[in-house]
A = this chain, B = another copy of it.
Amino acid sequence: MNDAKNIIDKLSCPLPDNNYDNITMAHGGGGKMMNNLIDKLFLHYLSNNLNDEKHDGAVFISEGHKFAFTTDSYVVNPVFFPGGDIGRLAVYGTVNDLAMCGAKPAYLSLGLIIEEGFSIKDLEKIIISIKEASDRTGVKIITGDTKVVEKGKGDGIFINTAGIGIVRDDINISPSRVEEGDLILINGDVGRHGIAIMTTRENLDIESTIKSDCAPLNIVVQQLIESGIEIHCLRDLTRGGLGSALNEIASSAKFEIEIDEKSINVTEEVKGVCEILGFDPVHVANEGRFIAFVKKKDAGKAFDILKQEESGKYASILGVVKGKNKYGLVILKSIMGVNRILDMMSGEQLPRIC
């Protein structure tokens, strides 16, 4: 086994003021430090041919059929927020990860870690919300587990869901399929979930309430698939926002991606709060947004489908995949006409967002 010094070296990343002996909040922020932890510790020991692509879920073949498998723990604070709650998030989040693999979500597991003293009335609200979300998305919760931890050793409730989806034999959606010339689409405006959580948590006195964009994506993805569009890669935007999602795919696929800043839609309300707080909307979390890498010839058809969705008026074609690049670069063409590298977030912007 490596000693502490080696581990520290392995996990080092360009944040000079962190203590790398111990886990920091930034290790869970969806940015560089989390990706370092995954690559240099988890995948160092646990990598296999099914998990090393770092997709939203793993696709495996069993008994001659293709399935997708994924998991997420939800630790969002507060558990109830404008536009959703931890229960809805726990169903939609995992359903969305399955959808991003091109799978039709079928079954979920439900693991609860509840802090002693948590209100049973609130627990019932969350369970009802889970039921509604599973009915809406057509998944069945078929197995579960409950643990209770002492007061002060948890934070209300944490939920884990794992999901199994069924993938059509001819579907292969993953970063490795990204090609030069692919167009990149998004299904709506960015940053609403993160700002909804932030304003609720901090009791910011903002007149109109910004609602989370928390929504299921499986139906729109099924429409894209069934329309025969050649989809190369899908990724939902959660922690780390659009910036992290683009960088993850660029780095997995080893391509340069060019994004047109003016095609990134942000509502005036979200923009206003971001300006006050010094956030870049491109790194703010979402829970109902995804990007699709599709063959150029199919981009118009895909755009038409996205336009019909609830968030469709903000759907757009974000940019294009340029040539190969061994680091996987994301270039942002700014409104001022200046190009800059859009990096993955280094540390973390806002903890406990999902």
Q: Which residue of B lies closest to A23 (CB)?
A: B118
* In contact, B147 and A75 (Cβ under 8 angstroms): yes
Contact residues of A between 48 and 103, Cβ < 8 Å to B: 48, 50-51, 57-58, 60, 62-65, 67, 69-75, 77
Q: Which of A135-143, A222-230, A273-281 contacts B (4 or more CB under 8 A)?
A: A135-143
**Bound CA–CA A158/B23 (angstroms):** 14
A116 at the interface (CB under 8 A from B): yes
Chain A residues within 8 Å of chain B by Cβ, number:
88
Q: Which of A33-41, A180-188, A285-293, A324-332 contacts B (4 or more CB under 8 A)?
A: A33-41
* In contact, B120 and A21 (Cβ under 8 angstroms): yes
* In contact, B25 and A148 (Cβ under 8 angstroms): yes
User: Which of these, B74, B146, B148, contacts A38 with CB under 8 Å?
Assistant: B146
**Bound CA–CA A148/B73 (angstroms):** 10
Q: Which residues of B contact A207 (CB under 8 A)?
A: none
A144 at the interface (CB under 8 A from B): yes
User: Which of these, B3, B37, B70, contacts A109 with CB under 8 Å?
Assistant: B70
Question: What DSSP secondary structure best describes chain A's contact surface?
Answer: mixed
* In contact, B124 and A20 (Cβ under 8 angstroms): no
Q: Which of A160-168, A192-200, A309-317 contacts B (4 or more CB under 8 A)?
A: A160-168
Question: Which A residues form the contact surface with B (CB < 8 A)?
Answer: 1-4, 7-8, 11, 20-29, 34, 37-38, 41-42, 45-46, 48, 50-51, 57-58, 60, 62-65, 67, 69-75, 77, 106-107, 109-121, 123-125, 127-128, 130-131, 134, 140-150, 152-155, 158, 160, 162, 164, 166, 351-352
